[in-house]
Structure 1
């Protein structure tokens, strides 16, 4: 420990090093439940690429593991410390280096907050679409590390589709530049896409070139109430089958709606079994909403209410963004699943999840990026009750098994981390895992970067 600190101090300012155990303990884990976390030896908060390189050279020389972190808003344990590690927090590297309206790119450091970037590019008439629910606090580096999504993915896609290039400090301290600033480019293997979603296990992202889009018109939102989740999922299928491209298509089940009302008195209709929110940011959103409203009615909606203006629309979206905090308030702990299935199987996924909740005697609310088939079943439980905690973990696994059964994936946007390591092996198979471990060894032969995560 003394040797580690002495070497780190040779290339870092005093304020970049945190050794107080009470403070370092606060950096030990992200927001996931049931994920083991160790005790870090030190927390480092670099401000420059050179400082990150110094940390990695020191770590390699002393064979000390390094756990990269952003804002620790993750839900899979990917940012959890291991015993004796260096926690490398990138939150101080938070500069927007460039915004180019001509090239439609932004160049940023990893600690930039998603919402800060979004507002900055809006001032130039541009738009950065990825918007995770934690967009006011999560960092771009964390978004890239977990390949995060958000509410707008149904039209605009996920983070991976907006990362053009990266600067990455490798395990031995070398600096790797991948990708491009150009609109097109296919030179060599696509290392940029490989690094997106790698959860800090291949390198430390220190700069990103991000694609931007022209800012769309303000969206309008429609809310549709359904007598069953199956009817709501039928409406989703009709909307997508007819070729509509909503900017948002979100579903909240009855449990979620009631939780949001309980937390914030939003006045959402508690008699509904499922609430579908659909938005368009087209030149004539009212016409698009009318067409979708007719499809919802045909699918069995009991009420369809289009918002008259952006303010009403934002109120509905605020209710959706509050879904996870509201469900977290139901019991003392939650496990948030992240299973994505083909849209055509969404109804089966929700029905199966309801059956699992009944089988295990638990409250499980589901909010969903319905347009993507990406569901977030939230298992609510009392963490002080050993039996309830056991049932929560078993129900979580049952939900993931159901997702795979329906042709889906164990994670659509939250990542693998610690929480889903065993399930990744089931999804990818023996050959897939072996190849991924080979890639990990090529980037990080000593296994120092975020050990125990992903693979």
Structure 2
């Protein structure tokens, strides 16, 4: 019996897919510049025991395993390598429990982020992490990359909302970390180790997630336009320094604004150099927004308007959420993901303008301004080899600029394959040695998602 026939016999009928046309759809995520190999097969698992079976088989035969959620990643973290087994968790969609009394939910890795949000809303609760892909990305993928989103400026990223995990290790054993208690310091914090590990240490199959009560009143929202992107950055610094607590604080610069309007009319000001959308929730939302508006005006905003009408607020946020789709409609792209200290946001925006001018690459920037996380998007004319090479050099320049300002090469998308070579600019040799030692301890044969991250 061949190795594949052996695995097929050990899994339920229809779980293992070898049809080339179907398998091709599992080769890559959404990172245009990252190479992808050809998988041997795809295991579309439906429970944790099937993941264990796949990992035990992979250990017996020395086959590389690539875990995959919805494939919405932007750094090549789920890209296949030749001859690998892709373990797709898209069918593990059970919300095992919603514990409204203790404000937590237990969900499987294939649950769509927005579906979880809708399910807990029926209990007067909400799940804070909301990446831009929240309507199509899975909780497992969010956990693997420690995804953020527009609400993370107030409520934190995925790691902050995670109480415990169920993880299948490289040898097929099941590890359960954390628990249901809010405070828990028994042993090492393995939960936080696995969140953001990009599938290199184990395959997350389920998680216990922290929920929050829905805000007691509709949020207050404002939009401000600026004559320059650095002026918008200065407004963000002033908002944070003033002690305001935004629940969202999002930025779009000129290129992004016009891409959104080209994609769908949202009545944004095409002449604005930059636009901030801010929101505050809770009982003092109006006071928080008033503080933010004052900071924008003092930073040189040329137009500011606020609203507490939910429909108007939803329209503004919809414009921001359309940015990803709008920018990819412009052509092949590289959606960068860098972060800087919030006090240096204006400098980073100025640096991006300089990089665009010096390289000739069109860069459209949106971002979670409230926590200094920007997504400069490189819009390319094609994907020819010379264009790819120039784009990678430009993307590296963006990362170098962020590091020079005390920032990071990735705020929420992960390192994946795209940024692996640039990680050494942020982590020193000792830090990289520790990463490799942990990897070697948990996956000595280097079968899980190799050659990404570190």
Into which bin does the TM-score normalised by the smaller protein fall? over 0.9
CA distance in structure 2 between the aligned counterparts of 1:101 and 1:385, rounded to whole angstroms? 52
Corresponding residue of 1:303: 303
CA distance in structure 1 between the aligned counterparts of 2:219 and 2:348, rounded to whole angstroms? 29
TM-score (norm. length: structure 2): 0.98
CA distance in structure 2 between the aligned counterparts of 1:84 and 1:108, rounded to whole angstroms? 31
CA distance in structure 2 between the aligned counterparts of 1:273 and 1:206, rounded to whole angstroms? 44
Corresponding residue of 1:275: 275
1:386 CA displacement:
4.3
| Conserved? CA contact 1:253–1:365, under 8 Å | yes
1:140-179 matches, within 5 Å, as 140-179=139-178
Instruction: Identify which range, 2-11 or 425-434, moves more after superposition.
Output: 2-11
Q: Would the alpha carbon gap of residues 241 and 127 (structure 1) be closer, same or farther in structure 2, given more than 3 Å must change?
A: same
1:6 CA displacement:
1.7
Corresponding residue of 2:198: 199
Q: Structure 1, unaligned stretches of length 5 or more?
A: none
Corresponding residue of 1:263: 263
Corresponding residue of 2:38: 39
Corresponding residue of 1:98: 97
1:384 CA displacement:
4.2
CA distance in structure 1 between the aligned counterparts of 2:392 and 2:453, rounded to whole angstroms? 19
1:6-405 matches, within 5 Å, as 6-216=5-215, 217-330=217-330, 332-405=331-404
CA distance in structure 2 between the aligned counterparts of 1:45 and 1:324, rounded to whole angstroms? 28
1:285 CA displacement:
2.5
1:379 is paired with a residue of what secondary structure? strand
| Conserved? CA contact 1:97–1:107, under 8 Å | yes
2:334 is paired with a residue of what secondary structure? strand
| Conserved? CA contact 1:382–1:389, under 8 Å | no
1:270 CA displacement:
1.0
CA distance in structure 1 between the aligned counterparts of 2:250 and 2:127, rounded to whole angstroms? 20
| Conserved? CA contact 1:82–1:451, under 8 Å | no
| Conserved? CA contact 1:338–1:414, under 8 Å | yes
CA distance in structure 2 between the aligned counterparts of 1:88 and 1:448, rounded to whole angstroms? 12
Q: Structure 2, unaligned stretches of length 5 or more?
A: none
CA distance in structure 1 between the aligned counterparts of 2:299 and 2:33, rounded to whole angstroms? 39
CA distance in structure 2 between the aligned counterparts of 1:280 and 1:178, rounded to whole angstroms? 34
1:5 is paired with a residue of what secondary structure? helix
1:298-323, CA deviations, whole angstroms, 9 ceiling, x for partnerless residues? 11111101124011000000110111
1:284 CA displacement:
3.9
Alignment RMSD (CA, Å) = 1.1
Q: Would the alpha carbon gap of residues 207 and 384 (structure 1) be closer, same or farther in structure 2, given more than 3 Å must change?
A: closer
CA distance in structure 1 between the aligned counterparts of 2:9 and 2:25, rounded to whole angstroms? 25
| Conserved? CA contact 2:245–2:288, under 8 Å | no
CA distance in structure 1 between the aligned counterparts of 2:125 and 2:5, rounded to whole angstroms? 46
Corresponding residue of 1:428: 427
Q: Would the alpha carbon gap of residues 101 and 429 (structure 1) be closer, same or farther in structure 2, given more than 3 Å must change?
A: same
Number of residue pairs matched by the alignment:
453
